[in-house]
Amino acid sequence: MASSSYFELLGAWLGRCDQSHNCSKCKEGTNTTLPTRVIYVGDPNPDILVLLCSAELDASSDRRYIALSYCWGNLESGAENRFCTNSQNLHHRLKSFSIKELPKTLQDAVRVTQNLGVQFLWIDSLCILQDKDKKDWEPEVPRMEDVFASAYCTMAATSATNSSGGFLERHSESRFIQVQDGPGRMLYVCEDVEDFDNDVENAVLKTRGWVLQERVLSRRTIHLSKNQTYWECGEGVHCENLTRLESPSLGYKRYFLLDPEFPDRLLQSGYRRTVDFIHFLFEHYSKRDLTYKTDKVVAISALEARIARTLKCEKRYGIFERFLHQTLLWQSPGKEKMERIDYKIQDVLSWSWMAYNGGLKFVDIPFFTAGWIKHLRFDEMRKNALVTEVGRFWDCRMKQKATQCAILDSEGTKIGSLQYDVEGGADIHFHRYVVVGRRRGEYYILVVKPRIMGDEYERIGVGMIHANYVSRERVDVRIV
């Protein structure tokens, strides 16, 4: 169990940020919104917890709560039913329940909250009913944005590989020596052990898809990592060994992640940095693991909604209308083809990277010299479809190597390249292209194939070709 001086340090970080930073001030007013349910941890008996419906709370009460970001992990069968809140145990938990009903990571989260003097804690598996029919869960997903943005602080159980691992018992202690200086003051010199990249950025928790938006939306986060505890807020990162990493040294893309004025500052940062950041965010996100592949759309939807509101534009499955062209030009990062996710109930179309499993990479285009094609737009009639023009390839052939193809003219000179990154064959004579951008006589294109019915085409790849080897064929067709 952690010592009282450890909790004092966490409290001091919070107190200093409250009093002398702008990290929570800019969101004043939002902290009165509580999630639908929270766990009350302020009983005189610290082992007694109560699940509370926040609508029943007195408006004048202290509404600060801590949100837990953690990795549920693989537990033995039946564990979910035992630990999570569901229709069967809801009634019992609304009266009161023992901390012993919870796995270790969740117990540790309760202890930290109590020691910080905060009465309420939010944990998804306890505050949202985990029934199979997902009836309680679905309306809660869009509220996730407010849950993390309104939390007094987020606690990230970075070192816990699953819900039974816990994070307060650590085995690595910093070694230090004591020295006395001339006037008799005691100095403590310890090893330089902080490693934010390894402890936090690359830790297990960071591979979990949901965590990215939890972190970006949070005002400030306590990262409880294996070796160190870190405090992260708009003013930078503080380490348990009292060193400090400042925001600029973290690079501007990462700076946005901990910026309390995110995403508002996106607008002030200029066109290029905004696009760069959106690319960075989605490339990062797409590499993370999700227990259910079909969560790819929802595990970032709250963050996506917030960015779209700031940019004052429409968004559809990871594509922002304001940066439609720049966000459409994505590709598979490797040589393997991407596997389509079977969403069953959602219409995630072929032009969205969210339709596929695995990581992505955006096509690298020199921004200031590229021109974007105006005829490309979201369809107003059929939700989610894109309306555009298609054309055919002219007087050229392909030389294929796995998913990569070189396009050659009749004399064998290379005039472009294509990447077929989804399942299906590669045949340039049967396929069509959609121009997205133009630069110095070259087109950045999506490769599409006609569907059997109607005026519809499906995205199957991306590429670049010299403008002389394509010709427009049809206007106002749909990419679905």
Residues in contact with Zn ion by CB under 5 A are 17, 21, 23, 233, 235
Shortest Cβ 327–Zn ion spacing (Å)? 31
C-alpha 445/C-alpha 73 separation (Å) is 40
Instruction: Collect all residues with Cβ–Cβ distance below 8 Å to 96 and sequence separation of at least 6.
Output: 43, 48, 49, 50
Contact in structure between 250 and 259 (CB atoms under 8 Å): no
Residue number, 42 or 236, with CB nearest to Zn ion: 236
Residue number, 18 or 456, with CB nearest to Zn ion: 18
Shortest Cβ 236–Zn ion spacing (Å)? 8
Shortest Cβ 14–Zn ion spacing (Å)? 9
Chain position carrying tokens 């991407």:
338
Shortest Cβ 235–Zn ion spacing (Å)? 4
Shortest Cβ 260–Zn ion spacing (Å)? 7
Query: Long-range contacts for 269-276 (Cβ within 8 Å, ≥24 apart)?
Result: 271/367, 272/367, 272/368, 274/311, 274/323, 275/323, 275/326, 275/367
Residue number, 10 or 233, with CB nearest to Zn ion: 233
How many angstroms separate the most distant Cα atoms in the chain?
87
Shortest Cβ 247–Zn ion spacing (Å)? 11
Residue number, 9 or 467, with CB nearest to Zn ion: 9
DSSP state of 33: P
Residue number, 26 or 53, with CB nearest to Zn ion: 26
User: E strands along 301-402, which residues?
Assistant: 315-316, 319-320, 330-331, 361-362, 371-372, 377-378, 386-393, 396-401
Shortest Cβ 151–Zn ion spacing (Å)? 14
Residue number, 234 or 416, with CB nearest to Zn ion: 234
Residue number, 18 or 146, with CB nearest to Zn ion: 18
Nearest to 373 by CA among 479, 446, 268: 446
Shortest Cβ 241–Zn ion spacing (Å)? 19
CA torsion 54-56-60-62 (nearest 10°) is -30
Burial zone of 214 (CB within 10 Å; 0-12 exposed, 13-18 middle, 19+ buried): buried
Shortest Cβ 66–Zn ion spacing (Å)? 16
3-state secondary structure of 7: helix
C-alpha 37/C-alpha 179 separation (Å) is 51
Residue number, 23 or 51, with CB nearest to Zn ion: 23
Residue number, 235 or 304, with CB nearest to Zn ion: 235
Nearest to 291 by CA among 437, 124, 96: 124
Burial zone of 281 (CB within 10 Å; 0-12 exposed, 13-18 middle, 19+ buried): buried
Residue number, 18 or 283, with CB nearest to Zn ion: 18
Shortest Cβ 234–Zn ion spacing (Å)? 5
Nearest to 220 by CA among 333, 66, 416, 50: 66
Helices and strands in the chain, H and E counts: 14, 26
Chain position carrying tokens 């690359």:
202
